[in-house]
Amino acid sequence: MNMQEYIEEAESALLHTYNRYQIVLDRGEGVYLYDMEGRKYLDFVAGIAVFALGYGNKAYNDALKAQIDKVIHTSNYYYNVPAIEAAKKIKKVSGMDRVFFTNSGAEAVEGALKAARKYAYLKDGSTDHEIIALNHSFHGRTMGALAVTGNPKYREAFEPLIGNIRFADMNDIDSVKAQLTDKTCAIIMETVQGEGGLVPATERFLKEVRALCDEKDILLILDEIQCGMGRTGYMYAWQKYGVKPDIMTTAKALGCGVPVGAFLMTEKVGQNSLVAGDHGTTYGGNPLACAAVEKVLDLFEKDHIIDNVREVAPYLEEKLNLIQDKYDCILERRGTGLMQGLLFDRPVGPVINNALKKGLILINAGANIVRFVPPLVITKEHVDEMIAILDACIEETL
Ligand SMILES: *Cc1c(COP(=O)(O)O)cnc(C)c1O
């Protein structure tokens, strides 16, 4: 079958929950992807902030192949070495104390919410606790994660979701205080909002939220699923501010493509929340997924991935600023590290489609923002290559 026939087959078999770009991707090499007709694309999406290490990383691939030949899955009723090694390493890089591995980001959020509710339940025995989430946040598509996602369009058809969620605004502590009651058990937020428009929390806001949580014994849950894993130039974005969460979620780049996420907590929450029988998963943290996590964390250290982000990100910012200056239709550059966005005064779909035709993969965040979340191994030359195509696309399209 040729590419067009495969696309038609897909549209008749897959549930239409995505408006897909009209290419069938076949293989990857470094920061380039190839479609099944052999066309080459510079990838500034990385599977949405997933493939940090670049495609075809030999050390990563070899580690997975070796684990496949040993054992792929056992059960969480038994110990396995990759999970223990992965847990040890993620504790080290995050400074958190206890980890639960999941299969996805949304599932990590579900676990975080359960842990927070259980913590509050153990304190006062009541079952009507509230959680504060932020407008324009994104935490995933399952019922619990959706309930704390600050986009009414995503939520509406699926109501009632879990109840007792109140929404406040990013970087506005008064709006958070306005939603606070004596039932509040947790505040959940992304350290840098991703889907909602590449909006970093300010240092001041994070510190104010942390102080509020400390004062009231409320748990701070930081969702680092998109902004974590080195993307901001810190392993976890909160480390830049020294504002430590009580519970943290991570996924996306954690397994670099093998589906895995995790929620982590401090010892205090670990000792006062979920116990045997409270939470579980069949696949979560299986030997294959954890072999991926273990190798990813190894390679982050060995290949100095975060140093590369710190070197290339300012260059990307500078080049995006120049593009912004050049075009009146671009209102703002947003974001931090290798998690950037350009806000346009109109929908960006045509620019992204044109870029694809010219061999550049980009993605939106909302209708009017072009998002840049490339593999963390990109170089300044890749940035130049991307900017040249982007410039031509905007020139032609808008
Ligand atoms: C992608 C994302 C999620 C959901 O992760 P899935 O693996 O798609 O379930 C949750 N929170 C944030 C911040 C994300 O970017």
Task: Give 305-326 pLDDT, tens digit per residue.
Answer: 999 999 999 999 999 999 999 9
**pLDDT tier, 269 (very low <50, low <70, confident <90, very high otherwise):** very high
Q: What is the mean pLDDT of the chain?
A: 97
pLDDT at 47 over 90: yes
What's the pLDDT tens digit per position in 361-385?
999 999 999 999 999 999 999 999 9
CA of 345 to the centre of ligand 1 (A): 26
- Does position 141 have pLDDT exceeding 90, yes or no? yes
Here the tokens at position 255 are 């397994």
Provide the pLDDT for residue 22. Answer: 95
Strand partners, 186: 131, 219
383 CA to centre of ligand 1 in angstroms: 26
Is the model's pLDDT at 154 over the cut of 90?
yes
Confidence class of residue 302 from pLDDT cuts 50, 70 and 90? very high
pLDDT of residue 73: 97
77 CA distance to ligand 1 centroid (A)? 27
pLDDT over 90 (residue 164): yes
Residues within a 6 A CB radius of ligand 1: 104-106, 109, 138-140, 190, 194-195, 223, 225-226, 251-252
pLDDT-based confidence at residue 35 (cuts at 50, 70, 90): very high
What three-state secondary structure class fits 319? helix
* Ligand 1 atom closest to residue 251's alpha carbon, by position in its atom list: 7
What percent of the chain is modeled with pLDDT above 90? 99
For residues 375 and 43, the answer to whether their CB atoms sit within 8 Å is yes
Angle between helices 305-326 and 380-397 (to 10 degrees): 30
Q: Which atom of ligand 1 is nearest to the CA of 259?
A: 7
| Helix extents (H) in the chain | 3-13, 46-49, 58-70, 81-94, 105-124, 143-147, 152-155, 173-179, 203-216, 267-271, 287-302, 305-326, 349-357, 380-397
Q: How far apart are the first and last CA of the chain?
A: 36
Residues 115-135 pLDDT 10s: 999 999 999 999 999 999 999
- Cα-trace Rg, the chain: 21
- CA–CA gap between residue 252 and residue 108 (Å, rounded): 11
Distance CA 45, CA 52 (A): 10
pLDDT at res. 226: 98
Find the 304 Cα to ligand 1 centroid distance in Å: 25
- The answer to whether residue 7 scores a pLDDT higher than 90 is yes
Residue in 242, 295, 290 with CA at minimum distance from that of residue 102: 290
Residue 30: what pLDDT?
Answer: 97
Sort strands 98-102 and 261-265 into parallel, antiparallel or unpaired. antiparallel
pLDDT at 158: 98
User: Distance between CA 162 and CA 223 in Å, rounded?
Assistant: 18
Q: How far is the CA of 252 from the centre of ligand 1 (A)?
A: 7
**CA–centroid distance, residue 325 to ligand 1 (Å):** 32
CB crowding 333-370: b at 16 or more within 10 Å, else e: bbbbbbbbbbbbeeebeebbebbbeeebbbbbbbebbb
Mean pLDDT of 222-239: 98
What does the pLDDT read at residue 246?
98
Q: Ligand 1, atom 15: nearest CA belongs to which residue?
A: 226
Could you tell me what percent of the chain has a pLDDT over 70?
A: 100
Q: Name the residue of 102, 154, 252 whose CB sits within 8 Å of the most ligand 1 atoms, as the mutation to test its pocket.
A: 252
Position 398 pLDDT exceeds 90:
no
If one residue of 18, 226, 232 were mutated to test the ligand 1 pocket, choosing by the most ligand atoms within 8 A of its CB, it would be 226
Give the model's pLDDT for residue 39.
98
Give pLDDT tens digits for 322-343: 999 999 999 999 999 999 999 9
Q: Identify the pLDDT of residue 224.
A: 98
CB atoms within 10 A of CB 10: 12
Q: What is the mean pLDDT of residues 214-229?
A: 98
